[in-house]
Amino acid sequence: MFALKVDYPTAAEELTIAKTTTGPGLPQASKLLDQETVLQLQALVRRVPISDHVAGYAVKLARATRPEDPTAPEVVKKYVRWGAGPRAAQYLVLGAKTRALLAGTTNVACDHVRDVAPIVLRHRVLTNFAAESEGIDADRVVGDLLKLVAEA
């Protein structure tokens, strides 16, 4: 669903990691959520209503990543070899619903779609040689799309 980028730890964090994982008695992981709670949370997300306007924006954004689509912006036609499929729109909607809930609302907005778009789309947009030769990656293309693709 998502492709997260995780930076390297700071020097202090890395020192802690090195010390705690090489000494006697490894730290024990503890369970935060059980299976039933995870399933309940997933069901809750799916029950959040979403307007046609916001869902339509998610679909429009996913479709805009496809270079053969007539609505694709020039940046996509120039730099993308393969765009996001229908699952991207599904995950944009589910991610936006989750983002809304985490913000304390059940009113899903286009801003919620934009918030999750980079982590949903970055691994679904495959750039071409022209992009690579100019140092343009999928994150850059998605960032440009977020500026270019209108909600309505």
Q: Is residue 7 part of a domain?
A: no
Determine the Cα angle at 110 with ends 40 and 45, to 5°: 5
Q: Is residue 60 part of a domain?
A: yes
Q: What is the pTM of this model?
A: 0.85
Q: Is residue 74 part of a domain?
A: yes
Q: Is residue 10 part of a domain?
A: no
Q: Which domain holds residue 103?
A: 49-148
The CATH number linked to 117 is 1.10.8.80
Q: What is the DSSP-derived secondary structure letter of residue 48? A: S
Domains in the chain, number: 1
Q: Is residue 22 part of a domain?
A: no
Tell me the pLDDT tens digit for each residue of 64-109: 999 999 989 999 999 999 999 999 999 999 999 999 999 999 999 9
Determine the Cα angle at 86 with ends 122 and 2, to 5°: 35
